[in-house]
Amino acid sequence: MKTINLKSVCIIAAVFIIGLTGGCDEAGRTGGKSPLIDSPTDLGPTIGSLATIYSPESVRVEGYGLVGGLQRTGSSECPPSIRAYLKRYILKQLPDHKINLDKLIDSLSTAVVHVVGEVPSLEAKERRFDVVVAALTGTQTTSLEGGWLYGAELRVTGSLGAGTASVGKAAGPVFTNRIGDLMMSRRMGYVLGGAEVFDDHRLSLVFHKAGFEVANSVRNRINGRFGFGVAKAATPGRIELTVPPKYAGQRQRFVSLVQATYMTENPEITAQRILANVRALATSQDKYTAEIALEAIGNESLGKLSILLSSSNEDVRLRAARCMLNLGSAEGLRTLIGIATSKGARLRLEAMESLTNSADRSDAAAISRRLLGDSDFDIRIAAYEQLVRLDDVSVARQFIGRSFYLDQVARSQYEGIFVSRSGEPRIALLGAPIRCGENIFVQSEDGSIVLNAPRGQRYVSVMRKEPRLGSVLGHLRSSHDLADIIRVLCSEPKTKTDQGVGGLGVSYSAMIALVKQLSDKGAISAEFRAGPMPKIGVNIKK
């Protein structure tokens, strides 16, 4: 037999007592039906019972493009139909430039690639996305490392050549993973966060039974709850929805809230709905549905929700607090902060995410800055991620070599390094400045990049060589500060018109492999962590 915590018993009892004393309708006051309805579904029609919301689904897209900047590892082979298409595309992008397009495509410094990606679904935080690029089958291209995808139109997979319009585009530096167990063919790579869709389609609410009267009622109900202009009746059978700014980072939650919004309301039935859903949130398995229903009802839910903030169940406390914070209650803020900062809490990351999504920007940033000093590295990385989303001044950002961000966070008392392998490419130095020790010797896998600092030398010698011939392409000096080493290696080489000292133009892929080596060899004491690889598969035309 299951045992129930005394505090949980008290909360459930309190919900029941409040139901007996504060939610009676006319029948309840005269000895009729109890106001405690068995199920929230008994409490009247919702918008979701009248219509279906259609949102842009995750969709596979593809295209063809040209990767340039290769060290004679490309090829001239290109099917005639793709060559003709690329020439038309390049001319459309550069109508005023005189370029020998056949010579460009035939160059060993370029390679024709097949590009595949997946447009993010409604749940995604970002609208930019990763794409895979692969050299075409039958070509002599040996490596895409260090290359740059000049540009590619993206169409829904299977529609290439069918005269359909492009839905997005992709461009940017090619990333080839050189760390961990997921090594890739050099003929394949990713463009991290390099793709975007042209049109972030509005959500469409389609009625099961069309009619002007119903459409107008639903439109007015949505606008009354979420703000004027959120819903527009396009036809008697369809309403277009615009996600309000408050839910810009929670688009799927907004869809759920619209579906859960009741069409009718009065004080008595609203009280019954609140009680039924508070009880469901406290005791049922499907807590999300109850949480969304209470938030959809609005501020009237706050009084009863506050009871659940004392629950011994962390999931119940978090959901109740998140719902209250979205409704503007400071009580929800305090509870979420408590979960986020409690070392024994299971849902710390979820609480941090909720604070970034819904709390006042200054409050959310203050908590994330505080958590930069947490002993758990995962929490420190999450705190950094939230501060980047909040564009907080505690993260000093510098764009390096037109390829990636170098982020430095000085507030963390623990030194750590995080490198991303999906989404926005970046190297984050937590606890900056991070300094390398003495007696360093590290070189890249192909021997083209060398870092050398014998014991007693006050600088790090940084050299880049031509990998096949061994000739020196550049030889510079850096301090022992890791950020300085990254800048010297990866900044673009100086041109004749540039002022100051340029860099050696090393790619993001090569740089994070070198940082991993420095960590593995003990040249830096900071803990190293690489983010996950892109979720899109690599089974594409090669």
Q: Determine phi and psi for 24, rounding to 5 degrees.
A: -75, 140
pLDDT at 285: 94
Q: Determine phi and psi for 265, rounding to 5 degrees.
A: -155, 145
Residue-wise pLDDT for 269-325, tens only, equals 999 999 999 999 999 999 999 999 999 999 999 999 999 999 999 999 999 999 999
**DSSP label at 157?**
T
With 60 as the cut, is the pLDDT of residue 135 above it?
Answer: yes
pLDDT at 51: 95
**Mean pLDDT on 7-23:** 44
Residue-wise pLDDT for 37-46, tens only, equals 445 557 889 9
With 60 as the cut, is the pLDDT of residue 20 above it?
Answer: no
The DSSP string of 124-143 is: -S-S-EEEEEEEPTT-----
With 50 as the cut, is the pLDDT of residue 26 above it?
Answer: no
Closest CA to 236 of 213, 255, 258, 220: 213
pLDDT at 313: 97
Closest CA to 151 of 65, 60, 63, 61: 65
pLDDT at 499: 65
According to DSSP, the β-strands at 440-443 and 168-173 are: unpaired
- What is the percentage of the chain residues whose pLDDT exceeds 70? 86
Residue owning tokens 């060559």: 83
With 70 as the cut, is the pLDDT of residue 14 above it?
Answer: no
pLDDT at 184: 75
Is the CA virtual torsion 99, 102, 107, 110 positive or negative? positive
pLDDT at 197: 87
With 80 as the cut, is the pLDDT of residue 52 above it?
Answer: yes
- Residue 471, C-beta contacts closer than 8 angstroms, at least 6 positions apart: 465
Euclidean distance between CA atoms 406 and 399, whole angstroms: 6
Residue-wise pLDDT for 322-345, tens only, equals 999 999 999 999 999 999 999 999
Closest CA to 290 of 265, 307, 273: 273
Cis status, amide bond into 433, omega within 30 of 0:
yes
pLDDT at 200: 63
Residue-wise pLDDT for 492-504, tens only, equals 987 766 666 789 9
pTM given for the model: 0.86
- What is the percentage of the chain residues whose pLDDT exceeds 90? 72
pLDDT at 512: 96
| Mean residue pLDDT across the chain | 88
pLDDT at 21: 39
**Mean pLDDT on 423-428:** 96
- Residue 45, C-beta contacts closer than 8 angstroms, at least 6 positions apart: 262, 263, 264
With 70 as the cut, is the pLDDT of residue 1 above it?
Answer: no
pLDDT at 185: 86
Measured at the alpha carbon of residue 152, what is the angle toward residues 198 and 512, in degrees to the nearest 5?
A: 100
* Residue scoring higher pLDDT (454 or 542): 454
Q: Give the largest CA-CA distance in the chain.
A: 96
With 80 as the cut, is the pLDDT of residue 19 above it?
Answer: no
**Mean pLDDT on 84-98:** 84
Euclidean distance between CA atoms 522 and 524, whole angstroms: 5
Instruction: Looking at 373-507, list the stretches that DSSP marks H as alpha helix, in order from N- to C-terminal side.
Output: 377-389, 482-490
**Buried-state track 96-117, b at ≥16 Cβ within 10 A, e below 16:** eeeeebeebbebeebbbbbbbb
pLDDT at 59: 85
Euclidean distance between CA atoms 62 and 69, whole angstroms: 22
Euclidean distance between CA atoms 268 and 37, whole angstroms: 12
Under the banding of pLDDT at 50, 70 and 90, the label for residue 4 is very low
Helix (H) and strand (E) counts in the chain: 17, 19
**DSSP label at 145?**
T
pLDDT at 498: 64
The token pair at 11 is 């909360």
Measured between alpha carbons, how far is residue 524 from residues 109, 408, 515, 528 in Å? 36, 16, 9, 9
**DSSP label at 58?**
P
Residue-wise pLDDT for 205-234, tens only, equals 999 999 999 999 999 999 999 999 999 999
**Mean pLDDT on 370-389:** 96
